[in-house]
Amino acid sequence: MEAGEEEVRLPCNQAEFEAAVIDGIAQMHPAVRIPVMDQYESATVLARSGGRVGCFTHFAVRESAEKLPEGMTGPLDGPTIRLKGLGTDTQLAGALLFLDRGGISMLECFAYGSRWPDTRYDFEICTPHGQDLR
């Protein structure tokens, strides 16, 4: 979150949303799918925050988790996300998974041209071409 940006309450389904986004990222990057999922499934969430245009989740990865290939710095681009149930509009969002020393470190999700929701919402994880991945 940028300096001076207001904190936004995260919705009650944030963890479910994060899991689906991470799975979508892993599907888009098959060469690192296994280590990304291994790290995520055993990671500790250090912090979650939300702002006007997105949300951020910081991870600590256990030392014994399979590492990503040496030299891979990221971020890994994520799928298009359709956020639904926000009035009558469907809102589009994107995601990036940042890496640090062979491990996942932060998931950033961001809205395209609109405010990030602060209430429970339905979502679809899509390919870059808009096809549903689930």
* pLDDT category of residue 19 using cuts at 50, 70 and 90: very high
- Global pTM reads 0.84
Q: What is the pLDDT of residues 23-78, one digit of tens each?
A: 999 999 999 999 999 999 999 999 998 887 888 999 999 988 889 988 787 899 99
**Upstream peptide bond of 75 is cis (omega within 30 degrees of 0):** yes
DSSP letter, residue 118? -
Q: What is the pLDDT of residues 83-126, one digit of tens each?
A: 875 555 678 899 999 999 899 999 999 988 777 777 777 888 98
d(CA 67, CA 81) in angstroms, rounded, equals 27
Look up residue 78 and give its two tokens.
Answer: 């994520």
CB distance 126 to 81 below 8 Å? yes
Question: CA nearest 121: which of 5, 7, 10?
Answer: 10
